[in-house]
C-alpha cells in the first residue's frame, strides 16, 4: 500500500523550477531519439518523455488544481513500479538534456525522480543490496577497504606513497581500485605522477567511494556523507590538487561536492586527461607518435557532463597520426551503457548498448578503442569478450604510460 501522504510530501520537495519543467515538457520525443536505453529496448517506459509524463500525473493527482479543490487522487503501487522501471532503465548519460529544446536539466530531474522512487519503496532489489555494501565497506563492490591498494602490487615503484602531507592526491576510485580490468589504469596514473616528480599521495583505506553510486540511486544524504569524509581526509593532508582517472569521480569531486557541501572543498580537481594535456602544453611531456588506428570514446560524465572534450584529443593527437572519431562524439557522444547503475539493474541492456558502439568502432577500422573512464573500459571489455570483437580496449592513461615505457 502506497502512503499517500508521503507521496504528497515527497512531491512538494521538488523545486518550483523542477515542477515547471515537469509540467512544461511538450513530449516532442527529440530526447527519445537520443536515449540509449529506449533505443535498444523499445519499451515506452524507458523513453524520457514518458518518464516525465508519469511524474506529471502524480503531481496533478496530489498538487494540481483539482486535487486542491476536491482532494488528491490515489498513487498506486503500479504507478510506483512503472516509474521505477522507467527511472532506473537509464544510464544518466545526459544526452536527453543536450537534445531538449527547452534546456531542461533532465539529469538532475532523473536523480530527483530516483529519490522519489526510493522513498516510496520502489528501489530495484540489486540497488537495495548496493546500499548495504556501500554502508558496510565504503565501496559498491563489497570488498574490504584494506584491499583498495592491491593494484599497487603491480606498480614498478618501491612503494605507492601514503603521505602525511602532499601537494597532489591521486583519487583512485572504486572501479579502478577493485576491478582487475582497470588495475593497469591505476598503475599507469601512479607511474606518470611518479615520473613527473610530483609531491603526491593516495588516501589508501581512507579513500571512500566518491558517492556517485549513492547519488545515482537517489540517496543524496549518503552521497553527502561520503563527500564529507573524502574532503576531510584530503584537507587533513594539505592537498591542493586532486587528480583522478575516473570520469564519475571527477564529476562528483569537481561539481557535486561543492553543491552537496555548500562550498569550495579547498582543492582543485583535475582529470588525468587534463593533467596530461597541461603537461604537453607546458613542454613537460614528450610523446612518440605511433601508427595505430585509435578511436576515442567520450565518457558521458567527462565530456557531456564534465566539459572535458578537447584535452583527451590533444593527448591522442600527440600519440597517433590515425585518430578516428565516432559519428556522434564530443558532447553528442553515444553512451557506452556503463553508467547510471544500469549494470546492476539490467546487465543485458548494458551489453546491447555497448555492442552498438563496438560495432561502429570496428566498422571505422579502429585497432584500439580508447576512453578515459574505468566504467567505460569495463563495459567495452565485457562487450569485446561477449561478442568476440577484434579490438583492444585501453584507457588513455594506459596508452600514454605504455608509450613512455612506464607500463608494460
Pairing of strands 368-371, 392-395: parallel
**371 neighbors 380 (Cβ within 8 angstroms):** yes
The tens digit of pLDDT for each residue in 338-357 reads 999 999 999 999 999 999 99
Report mean pLDDT in 10-residue bins for the chain, 408 residues.
94 95 89 95 96 94 84 92 98 95 94 98 97 97 95 82 96 97 96 95 97 97 98 98 98 98 97 98 94 97 98 97 95 96 97 98 97 98 97 98 87
The pTM of the full predicted model, rounded to 2 decimals, is 0.95
pLDDT tens-digit map of 29-86? 899 999 999 999 999 999 999 999 999 999 999 998 887 887 778 999 999 999 999 9
CB distance 120 to 331 below 8 Å: no
What domains does the chain contain, in order, with CATH numbers? Answer: 4-122 (1.10.1060.10), 126-277 (3.40.50.1860), 286-404 (3.40.50.11810)
CB atoms within 10 A of CB 74: 10
- Residue 114, strand partner residues: none
> Which percentage of the chain shows pLDDT scores above 70?
100
C-alpha–C-alpha distance, residues 153 and 72, integer Å: 60
Amino acid at each position: 500500500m502506497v502512503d499517500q501522504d508521503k507521496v504528497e510530501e515527497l512531491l512538494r520537495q521538488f523545486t518550483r523550477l523542477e515542477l515547471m519543467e515537469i509540467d512544461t515538457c511538450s513530449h516532442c520525443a527529440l530526447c527519445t531519439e537520443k536515449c540509449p536505453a529506449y533505443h535498444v529496448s523499445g519499451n515506452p517506459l524507458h523513453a524520457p518523455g514518458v518518464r516525465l509524463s508519469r511524474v506529471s500525473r502524480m503531481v496533478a493527482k496530489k498538487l494540481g488544481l483539482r486535487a486542491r479543490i476536491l482532494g488528491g487522487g490515489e498513487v498506486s503501487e503500479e504507478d510506483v513500479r512503472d516509474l521505477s522501471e522507467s527511472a532506473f532503465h537509464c544510464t544518466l548519460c545526459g544526452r536527453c538534456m543536450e537534445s531538449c529544446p527547452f534546456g531542461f536539466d533532465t539529469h538532475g530531474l532523473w536523480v530527483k525522480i530516483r529519490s522519489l522512487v526510493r522513498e516510496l519503496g520502489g528501489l530495484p532489489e540489486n540497488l537495495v543490496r548496493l546500499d548495504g555494501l556501500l554502508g558496510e565497506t565504503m565501496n559498491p563492490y563489497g570488498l574490504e577497504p584494506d584491499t583498495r591498494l592491491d593494484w599497487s602490487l603491480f606498480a614498478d615503484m618501491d612503494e605507492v606513497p601514503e603521505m602525511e602531507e602532499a601537494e597532489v592526491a591521486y583519487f583512485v576510485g572504486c572501479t579502478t581500485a577493485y576491478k582487475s580490468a582497470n588495475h593497469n589504469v591505476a598503475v599507469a596514473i601512479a607511474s606518470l605522477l611518479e615520473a613527473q616528480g610530483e609531491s603526491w599521495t593516495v588516501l589508501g583505506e581512507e579513500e571512500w567511494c566518491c558517492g556517485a553510486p549513492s547519488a545515482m540511486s537517489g540517496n543524496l544524504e549518503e552521497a553527502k556523507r561520503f563527500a564529507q569524509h573524502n574532503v576531510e581526509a584530503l584537507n587533513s593532508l594539505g592537498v591542493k590538487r586532486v587528480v583522478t582517472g575516473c570520469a564519475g569521480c571527477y564529476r562528483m569531486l569537481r561539481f557535486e561536492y561543492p553543491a552537496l557541501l555548500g562550498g569550495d572543498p579547498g582543492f582543485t580537481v583535475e582529470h588525468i586527461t587534463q593533467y596530461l594535456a597541461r603537461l604537453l602544453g607546458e613542454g613537460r611531456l614528450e610523446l612518440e607518435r605511433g601508427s595505430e588506428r585509435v578511436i576515442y570514446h567520450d565518457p558521458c560524465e567527462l565530456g557531456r557532463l564534465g566539459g572535458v572534450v578537447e584535452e583527451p584529443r590533444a593527448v591522442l593527437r600527440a600519440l597517433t597520426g590515425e585518430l578516428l572519431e565516432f559519428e556522434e562524439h564530443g558532447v553528442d557522444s553515444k553512451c557506452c551503457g556503463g553508467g547510471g547503475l544500469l549494470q546492476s539493474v539490467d546487465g543485458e541492456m548494458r551489453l546491447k548498448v555497448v555492442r552498438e558502439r563496438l560495432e561502429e568502432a570496428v566498422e571505422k577500422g579502429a585497432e584500439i578503442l580508447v576512453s578515459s573512464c574505468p566504467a567505460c573500459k569495463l563495459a567495452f571489455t565485457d562487450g569485446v569478450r561477449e561478442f568476440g570483437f577484434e579490438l583492444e580496449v585501453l584507457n588513455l592513461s594506459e596508452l600514454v604510460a605504455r608509450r613512455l615505457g612506464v607500463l608494460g
